[in-house]
Amino acid sequence: MSELYDLLIIGAGPGGLSAGIYGSRAKLKTAILDKNAEPGGQATTTEELENYPGFFNGSTGPGIMKKFAEHAKTFGTEFLRGTVDEVDFSGPVKKVHTQQGDTYESKVVILSPGANPRKINVKGEAELRGKGVSYCATCDADFFVDLDVVVVGNGDAAIEEAMYLTKFAATVTVIVIHEKGNLDCNKASAEKAMKNPKLKWVWNSTVEEIAGDELVEKVVLKNIDTGELSDLETNGVFVFIGTVPHTDFLKGKVDLDDRGYIITNDMMETNVPGVYGVGDARVKYLRQVVTAASDGAIASSAAEKYLSELETLQNDVLDVSKEKPVLLAFWAPQIQESIDSIAAVDKVVEGKNDQVGLVKLDTYRAKKTATQYKVDQIPTVVLFKDDKDVGRISGADNITPEAVEALLK
């Protein structure tokens, strides 16, 4: 059994690394668990990565991810190795178990499991993987110097990697499912690609089969308008047709959408308190390094608030309530009448010579606690005895010194 972490992050892609940076910088005990020894996730399989702000002029996916990881390490993030096979989010302390047999415990878990390349699911694809079929241009481009390759797909990754491959291959043919001239990628890349003389295009088409004896020799293309099949000789097939989230181990543990993506709100909270979801595995509009990094920052900062609320509630309210009554006062600096009410409560408590505890919470900053105790009016004063809330007064008009005295009796 491990020591107890504040923040355990599953997955060391840009979302997880950014969460690590924010978490450890906030002095939370933070660790990132990844199946790989090299952090970076999918971004390390992309050579051309020139849309992360501040990084351009030949910056690469592996290069930027190295910087992310160094940054997290500098602030004290711990890096752990293991493939997660089981999670238990049922208690206040979350448990994460790995195939290697380790169990980690943490108060907060940030899920950053990422996604895997989507397969075309055609004949020959699995058999010829590593023999001409590839999902990673950085890994395999070198093999195709002066050879012919096809790229399947037309999103950002497909078009940018196709351009990268033109530096190696003799010809790069992009197979596009859309009508001539229509690409799903960003306009800047589309314009650049259309002008690249080494790129060839096959429109309106999908790959029906990849064939070859031991190495890729050809693809069978299907024109989706006419249904006509044709052969195209090639040495390599690079597939960039999106991703599938790596969330099988989360089924039944947090809410996923019907395609398996983690459902979160704006604060990256899943349906389970203390469990957050970030990066490509989350339901979102744009899956990029910059949005994953943003998710990570949000999750860690939300987690920090969550932890400090938990701590206040446990240490200053629940624990103390076993010794003496504690009043938990919900107020808000924006609401003048709540300030006045709390001052009145303060006075009553002062007169009790330390026989009664008082904790004041800014309601808007302590939404979790407010929700947990169903506080729907500001100000509200809740009385705790022996670990439990046993009474309350709500509304400025009702919180009078007399009423507080009565509540305490």
Partner 1 sequence: MMEHLTKENFDEKVLNSKGVVMVDFFSPKCVPCMALMPDVEKLADEKSDVATFFAFDTTGNMRMAMKQKVMGIPAYLFYKDGEKVASLDKDILEEKGMAAVTDKLEELTV
**Beta carbon nearer to partner 1, 143 or 201:** 143
140 is an active site residue: yes
Q: How big is the site for partner 1, counted in residues (CB under 8 A)?
A: 31
Instruction: Give the span between the Cα atoms of 71 and 280, in whole angstroms.
Output: 21
Distance, C-alpha 159 to centroid of its chain: 25
Instruction: Work out whether 131 is an interface residue with partner 1 (CB under 8 A).
Output: yes
Nearest to 365 by CA among 341, 393, 332: 332
Burial of 75 (0-12, 13-18, 19+ CB in 10 A): middle
Task: Give the pairing type, strands 326-331 and 357-362.
Answer: parallel
- Asked whether 376 and 395 are in contact (CB, 8 A), the reply is no
Please pick, from the candidates 56, 88, 103, 130, the single residue that binds partner 1 as defined by CB under 8 A: 130
Compute the distance between CA of residue 323 and CA of residue 345 in angstroms, rounded to an integer: 20
Catalytic hit among 140, 156, 280, 295: 140
Q: Is 170 an interacting residue with respect to partner 1 (CB under 8 A)?
A: no
Q: According to CB under 8 A, which one of 38, 88, 179, 323 is a site residue for partner 1?
A: 38
Residue 278 beta carbon to partner 1: minimum distance, rounded to whole angstroms: 21
State yes or no: residue 260 binds partner 1 (CB under 8 A).
Answer: no
Using the rule CB under 8 A, give the single segment among 21-29, 38-46, 172-180, 220-228 that binds partner 1: 38-46
Q: State the nearest-atom distance from the C-beta of 377 to partner 1, in Å.
A: 53
Indicate the residue among 169 and 275 with the shorter CB distance to partner 1: 169
Indicate the SS3 state at residue 162. Answer: helix
CA distance 234 to 133: 11
CA of 292: how far to CAs of 19, 35, 279, in Å? 9, 19, 4
* Residue among 139, 225, 386, 397 flagged as catalytic: 139
What part of residues 16-35 is at the interface with partner 1 (CB under 8 A)? 35
Dihedral pair phi/psi, residue 93, rounded to 5°: -100, 120
Binding site for partner 1 (CB under 8 A): 35-38, 40, 44-45, 62, 65, 83, 99-100, 129-134, 136, 138-140, 142-145, 214-216, 235-236
Residues marked active site are found at 136, 139-140
